[in-house]
Amino acid sequence: MVNLDYKFSGIIDILNRLKPFNPDIAIILGSGLGSFAKSVKIVKSIPCGSIESYPLSSVEGHSGFIHFAEIGNKKLLLFEGRIHFYEGFRLSDCLLQTHITHKLGCKYLIITNAAGGINNELHPGSLMLNTSFNSMNIKNELTEVTGLADNYKKDNLLNCPSADLNNIIRTSASSENIDLKEGVYWFNKGPAYETPAEVKMAKIFGGDAVGMSSAHEAVYAGSLGIETASISLITNYAAGISESKLSHTEVIDTSEKAKYIFEKLIKRIILNL
Ligand code: HPA
C-alpha cells in the first residue's frame, strides 16, 4: 500500500507555505483546457517545476501550474497540466492533484478531460457530464492507494460522482443554454488510443466516451468525501466510430474551438456553488 500522506508531505508543506488563501473549489483542467486559467482572476501561480519532487507532465498542452484564483467570492485551486498514467508515472503520482485538493481543504473537485465519443449522440465539441466511471483497468493500482475501503470510504464512494454537484452542473448548463450530454466515462490506461475493437467492447459494456485520465482521480476524491464531478469535452469520435483517423492535434484543435462554451459552463457552476 502506498501512503500518499508520507509520499507527498514535502509538496504539501511547500503549498501550505505558499498558498495565499484556503481554496474551496479545485478544478483539474484537461487537454487544451488550461486556458481557463487565463479567464479568471489569478491571485498566485506556482509553476509545478519549482516544487521539489513534483512529477512533471511532458504532454503538449499540459504545461504545469497550480493557480490560486478567484471568481466573485469563490476561492479556486486550478491545476493546469495533468499527471498521466500513460506517461509512465505510478498511479499514486497521478493522484497528487486530488491529494492536494484534499489536503488544502477543498469541498469540491471538478475534473475535466478530453475524451473520444462512443455514444451516437456525442460529436466533437459535445460536453458530457460523467454519470459513472469504468475504472476496471486500474482497480489493482487504485486499491494500492485507497487500501481495502473501510465503511466510511465505501459510503463516500456510493456518492461518486456527487449527486448534488451533478444536479448543480445540470442546472448551470440549462441556465446557460448549454446542451450537456450525460454518460459513462471509460478509462483506458493508454498510452495508445483504443483500437476499433476495444471501442466496440467499451460500447457493448456501457461506455459512452473513452479517455485516459479522470476515473482514478474521481474515485480517490470520492473515497475521501470530496464532492466530485467530472465533465468530458468530446474532442473526436473514438476509433472506429467514424472514418477519420485520430490524432492529438485533433484533440487540441477541438478543445481550442470549444473552450469558450466550456469556460462559460464552469464559471456558471462555480457561481452556483
Ligand atoms: N481516446 C482516449 N483518450 C482520448 C481520446 C480518445 O479517443 N480523445 C481524447 N482523449
Q: Is 98 in the pocket of ligand 1 (CB under 6 A)?
A: no
Does residue 55 have a cis bond before it (omega within 30 degrees)?
Answer: no
Distance (Å, whole) CA 87 – CA 84: 6
Query: Taking the model in full, what pTM does it have?
Result: 0.95
Average predicted confidence (pLDDT) for the chain = 92
Q: What are the residue boundaries of the structural domains of the chain, listed by start?
A: 4-272
Secondary structure of the chain in the HEC alphabet?
CCCHHHHCHHHHHHHHHHCCCCCCEEEEECCCCHHHHHHCEEEEEEEHHHCCCCCCCCCCCCCCEEEEEEECCEEEEEEECCCCHHHCCCHHHHCHHHHHHHHCCCCEEEEEEEEEECCCCCCCCCEEEEEEEECHHHHHHHHHHHCCCCHHHHHHHCCCCCHHHHHHHHHHHHHCCCCEEEEEEEECCCCCCCCHHHHHHHHHCCCCEEECCCHHHHHHHHHCCCEEEEEEEEEEECECCECCCCCHHHHHHHHHHHHHHHHHHHHHHHHHC
Residue 238 Cβ < 6 Å to ligand 1: yes
- The answer to whether 132 and 207 are in contact (CB under 8 A) is no
CB-ligand 1 contact for 236 (6 Å cutoff): yes
Task: Decide whether any atom of ligand 1 lies within 6 Å of the 116 Cβ.
Answer: yes
- What would the pLDDT profile of 234-258 be if each residue is shown by its tens digit? 999 999 998 877 777 887 888 888 8
Q: Is 233 in the pocket of ligand 1 (CB under 6 A)?
A: no
The reply to whether ligand 1 has any atom less than 6 angstroms from the CB of 85 is no
Q: Each residue of 48-69: pLDDT tens digit?
A: 989 999 998 776 655 599 999 9
CATH number 3.40.50.1580 given to 4-272: yes
* Contacts (Cβ under 8 Å, ≥6 apart) of 124: 117, 234, 235, 236, 237, 250, 254
Ligand 1 atom closest to the CA of 236, numbered from 1: 8
pLDDT at 63: 57
Judge if the beta carbon of residue 255 lies within 6 A of ligand 1. no
Q: Using alpha carbons, select from 102, 109, 257, 125 the residue that is nearest to residue 178.
A: 125
CB of 251 closer than 6 A to ligand 1? Answer: yes
Tens-place pLDDT, residues 76-103: 999 998 899 999 999 999 999 999 999 9
Q: Nearest C-alpha to atom 10 of ligand 1 is from which residue?
A: 115
C-alpha–C-alpha distance, residues 205 and 217, integer Å: 22
Mutate to test the pocket of ligand 1, among 235, 241, 242, 250 (most ligand atoms within 8 A of CB): 235
Nearest in space to 24 (alpha carbons), one of 80, 82, 69 = 69
**Does 204 or 139 have the greater pLDDT score?**
204
Distance 177 CA to ligand 1 centre (A): 26
